[in-house]
Amino acid sequence: MSFRDYLHEKAEESRHNEMISYLMFIAGAIFFVGGTLETLSLAAKPEWFLFIPYHIEPHAGAVLGLSLIISGLCLIVFGLAAGINYSRDRSWYMQELRKANSIEELMMSKRTTVKKQGKKKFREIKNKT
């Protein structure tokens, strides 16, 4: 496996991981909204901690709503952080892949110029004789 193939595979893997992390973000948003709706529908007047509603009464729906809200917030934060991390990794891999391609193109252009110069010299020698 060449270095270019390795970089290409890593860029694809990073793109896949980035997509999965953004799906994790979307799942967290759905959990957060579901938990908020559960808590707001359960209590007529819930308690608020910043922007998170909660209900103090011992009820199964209150625990479910709060757990959905907390897990949703965690998924949102970790999904965004992982997405940004994988995006930066993918941009680094793509930059290195561009460098590897430009070096290879430079080497190929040098080979063709050397071949052309060799053919010219051969023609000149042939024409002299």
Residues with Cβ < 8 Å from 34, sequence gap 6 or more? 68, 72
CA terminus-to-terminus distance, the chain = 48
pLDDT at 90: 84
Domain that holds residue 42: 3-94
Please name the residues in contact with 51: beta carbons below 8 A apart, sequence gap of 6 or more. none
Asked, for residue 111, whether it belongs to a domain, the answer is: no
SS3 29: helix
Q: pLDDT tens across 40-96, in order?
A: 787 777 777 676 666 667 776 677 888 888 899 999 999 999 999 988 888 888 888
Confidence of residue 126 (pLDDT cuts 50, 70, 90): low
**How many distinct structural domains can be found in the chain?**
1
Domain assignment present for residue 9? The answer is: yes
Using one digit for the tens of pLDDT, what is the confidence trace for 30-51? 999 998 888 878 777 777 767 6
Let me know if residue 48 belongs to a domain: yes
54 phi, psi to nearest 5 deg:
-145, 160
Q: Is residue 42 part of a domain?
A: yes
**Residue 118 in domain:** no
81 within domain boundaries: yes
Which residue, 26, 22, 27, 46, is CA-closest to 36? 46
The answer to whether the CB of 83 falls within 8 A of the CB of 26 is no
